[in-house]
Every structure is written in C-alpha cells, then in structure tokens.
Structure 1
C-alpha cells in the first residue's frame, strides 16, 4: 500500500513510518522539520521537506499518489495555542484542509488523523467516552476538533473513508523535551541530570499515559478497520503526575524532589480515556504497562544524555 505520513519526522509519526516499512508498505514522509528531526526518518521512506500549508503538497500527491494518508503534522503545544491562536489555527485547520483537498483531488482512499483528548476539555466523568461533551479549554483543542469536523464533512461529501484517533498522553522514545506534551521526557531528562522537575499544581492531576508503540498499533489497525469513525486511543488507567514522578525517580535512581508551581491556564485537572470503542471497531487494546513503557523511555533518554555529553567533550 502507498501511504503518505505527514509529520513523519516527529515523535509518534516516525515510529508509525518504521512500522509501516517493516510491513512492506511504500511510505512517503512530509515534514517541514520545525519540531521533527531528519534522523528520525526511516531511510527507506521517501522524504519531502515541505510544509502541509505549501502549494508544493500538490506535487507530492501528484507524484506519490497515496492510497492512505496518516496525518500527524500539527502544532501540538496547548500553551502556545493560547499565546498564538492564529498560528495554531493556520497549521492545524488550514493545514488539514490542504491535505483533505489533495486527498479528494488525487482519489486517496482513506485518511487517518491524529486528534487529541484536548478536544473534550474538563471531564464530566472519571473516564471519557467518545460521546462526552466537547468543551476545549485551549486553541489547540478547538483547532483539533475543527479539523475533525472538516474530515467528517469531507468523508460524507466525497466518500472519503476516515478514522480519527483521539490520543491520550503519549510518551516514549524520540519524544521531545519541550512543551507540556513531553512531560515524561522532561521529567526523565531532569532527573538524569540531577535537576528538579517542575510540577504545575499539586501533582494530583490525573492523566492517561499511553506508550507510543501502542499508538502505532492503533494506526496500523486503522489501515483496514474503523471506517468513518472517531475513536479514543488511551489505556483507561488514571495516573497522577505525582505517581508518574515517583516511577521515574525510581527508574533513574534519583533522590531529587520536584518543585511545585502554580497551575497553568488551559491545563485540565483530570483526563482519562475510555478505550472500549477502539477494542470494538479497531480490534485494539494497549499491551504495554506504564512501568515497562517508562523503563524503555528512561533507557532511551539515558542513552541520549550520554551521547550529548560525549559530543561536548570532543
């Protein structure tokens, strides 16, 4: 199958590209490398270093003619979306529309789109189902939900199949340590360096932390399942930030204590996703425990730290 992955140099999508190539699909990557890294890109994938907003995206579709698009290119920082809402909307909404227009013009069969638990806003239940009210607190949540709505409209009007995957808090190897999305990497890096991580609020806020390889598996299932539906991708397990910190402190062998600061605007107190629908329509459930996923992530961050130290001493 010919599959185009937008944002394929980034954290999650680069893992998806690796898995697709392992399954012998023909893969192309579109990424402007603003937050992604060229070294993340599988050497067997075709690489187009362009922005999804560029007119050059038309040429990529014309040449590659993808059967499926896996759309991950996005502005993902909730705090930035509050500071720069126009930039967030242009990237996430207009960028998605540009991808959709190209899909229709070149008869792409399906789009699989990465969305977010941020669309829900404050939870009305301990575990959030897909029919939960939509009340986003950030521009990011708004732009993601707007993109979802456009995808559903294009699906109905143009017979474009789609699966929208609303991710919980994804973590794992290759995750950046910038912005609030990378809390696991941020905590691990600071603990490995003997520095104190910052926890905003009292640390009792709950998140649903899902390992990147489980997210990859959901995307692979969506290639042939999950027709025209919107699905949560999470573990359904509630983990406080304090508990997460405790796991990481034990894994790194650090004796460092966190520094607590005031809550930030737009941060949701509790977020955990029900994955019952994903089990039904995608035949998917997460298989990695939080402990095993964190252990793999810490090993990866420790290796990166050693490499960085060695480079500075050359």
Structure 2
C-alpha cells in the first residue's frame, strides 16, 4: 500500500482527505503545525501518523517525508483576498518552502506530488466560459499569482526529473470541517452567520459568480490523481456557477434563517465570473462530481446542526 503524506493534513481539505484514506484502510501521515486544531480528526487520531512542524522547517519536512511514496501538498499560508503588500510574505512562506519540499522529496525517493492549486484565481477574468486548462493564465490577485508561480516551478520539476506531479486547479470547495468564522469560503461563512446571528460582509452587490464543489468530490479527485501515473494539470470543478447572492439565498432557505448583510466595496483582485470546465478531469481521471450543489448545502447544514446540538 502506498504511503501517503498530507502536508496541511489538519486543514479543511487535508482533514477530509485523511479521513477518507483511513476509511480505505490506510494510515496516512499528516504534517501540521503544533498549534493547529485537530478537533475534526479526534475520532481517527489513532489511525494517523502525525508529524508536527512548520512549513519553513527543513528538518521537520525531512522527517515527515521519510519513507513516503505520495505527497499531497495542501498548505497555503495566504488566502484569495490577500493584498499585494503580502507578496513578499507569500514568496517566503509558500513559494520557497514548496521548492524546498520538492527537493526533499527528490532526495527521499518520493514518487508523486499532488498539488492543490487555485482554479478560482489562476486564470483571471475569463475570455470564455467554461474555462478550460488552455485558457490564458492572468491572475488578478497576489494569491493567484503565487499559485501560478508555484505551478511553474512544479512543471519544471515534472519535466526535468522522474517525479510525477499532478496539479489540481480546484474551484471553491465547501462542506464538513470548513471554518464558519473564517475569511475564506462564502458558504461556510454564510452558514456561520446564519447559525450565530452574525452580519455577513458582501463585497460589491454579491454578483460575482463562482463554481462550488462539495468536499467529498474534491477528496475523490485528489485520490484519483495520486493513483494515476504521469504528470498532469487538471481543473476540478462542478462546471456550474452561482452568484454570491444566490449562495446566500440558498443558505437562508436551507437554514430557515435570514442573514444580516453588510454590503462593502468590491475587492480589486476578485474576478467577476469563474466557472471551470471539468471535461479533462473526466477524460484523465474518470472523475465527475457525485454531490450536487443543493445536496451539498443540505449535508453541510445538517452536520453543523448535529455537531452543535
């Protein structure tokens, strides 16, 4: 059985991936900071191999990578709303450690890296909808530019070494384990506002359109990528778009609660519409979504209610 390392294994995507791998009989290793919460993994801690360390710590990374076949790189220290002023921090905390991680993987005999890139920011304003992998890459945000730069380095290593690297340009995942009081993930934040009766901040008039994907489908794509030989760059998406206001209205309907809203100026780095084609994912990974938008919302809200009652 392949030995898996999840870099960022205590996060939203990483935690769900770890849970699925455990369910399949694996004992994945997760790499996370000592300060990270493991609350969503409490029931499977005995089935995990946990290595604590900072992404900037080479010694900790070497310890985590030792004996591993496949690395899932899910760490990001910045978010889509990141401002230009944080670009230098992004280079030091994301780009350089990723290059170092690849070098450590090469020295340790790792066979494959699966990287979670950003399908929502890497393309910039779309020229065509849905957006295919051949679309020009012109990010509007520092976050998207960082993801693109990391992809370029990973592509170089895929071309020049025997390491397989699969880049997944994931749209906007939601579901179990996403932070309700965070700054990322409009569905989770909206549900948190509905549950705790907080005010939801909406940028512009809530007209931006995004492609939303339930977390179990994201995990399925990550595992399929890890099982495929060779390198690739693939969109992972539902292929359908919903505006922010449509999302808010859907959350209000699911929860039965009206959300207090505060409309604030639109952010410069936000693209107006982002809907990704998932045709290539179907061709390469035999992957398709299994949970539609409404069903995903229902399961996410039901989990939230059951967890807190």
**TM bin (shorter chain):** over 0.9
Structure 2 residue 87 is matched with structure 1 residue 89:
no
Structure 2 residue 261 is matched with structure 1 residue 258:
yes
**1:302 CA displacement:** 2.8
Select 1:127's aligned residue among 105, 130, 135.
130
Q: Tell whether the 8 Å contact from 2:82 to 2:141 is kept in structure 1 after alignment.
A: no
Per the alignment, in what secondary structure is the counterpart of residue 294 of structure 2?
helix
Select 2:281's aligned residue among 251, 254, 278.
278
Please give the per-residue CA displacement for 1:130-161, whole angstroms capped at 9, x wherever unaligned: 11111111121111111111111111211111
With normalisation by structure 2, the TM-score equals 0.93
For 1:250 and 1:226, the matched residues in 2 are separated by 43
Select 1:301's aligned residue among 299, 304, 307.
304
**1:282 CA displacement:** 0.6
Please give the per-residue CA displacement for 1:11-37, whole angstroms capped at 9, x wherever unaligned: 011100111121122310001156x42
5+ unaligned residues in a row in structure 2: which ranges? none
Q: Tell whether the 8 Å contact from 2:164 to 2:229 is kept in structure 1 after alignment.
A: no
Q: Tell whether the 8 Å contact from 1:77 to 1:179 is kept in structure 2 after alignment.
A: no
Structure 2 residue 4 is matched with structure 1 residue 3:
yes
How many residues are aligned here?
Answer: 303
Per the alignment, in what secondary structure is the counterpart of residue 6 of structure 2?
strand
**1:83 CA displacement:** 3.8
**1:257 CA displacement:** 4.8
For 2:213 and 2:229, the matched residues in 1 are separated by 20
Per the alignment, in what secondary structure is the counterpart of residue 292 of structure 1?
helix
For 2:233 and 2:298, the matched residues in 1 are separated by 31
With normalisation by structure 1, the TM-score equals 0.91
For 1:92 and 1:31, the matched residues in 2 are separated by 14
Q: Tell whether the 8 Å contact from 2:132 to 2:235 is kept in structure 1 after alignment.
A: yes
Partner of 2:103: 101
Per the alignment, in what secondary structure is the counterpart of residue 210 of structure 1?
strand
For 2:221 and 2:229, the matched residues in 1 are separated by 10
Partner of 1:138: 141
For 1:218 and 1:59, the matched residues in 2 are separated by 27
Per the alignment, in what secondary structure is the counterpart of residue 52 of structure 1?
coil
Q: Aligned ranges for residues 1-314 of structure 1 at < 5 Å? A: 1-32=2-33, 36-41=36-41, 42-43=44-45, 44-56=47-59, 57-62=61-66, 65-117=67-119, 118-225=121-228, 227-306=230-309
5+ unaligned residues in a row in structure 1: which ranges? 307-314
1:4 and 1:210, CA in 2 relative to 1: closer, same or farther beyond 3 A? same
Partner of 1:309: none
For 2:88 and 2:308, the matched residues in 1 are separated by 35
RMSD: 1.7
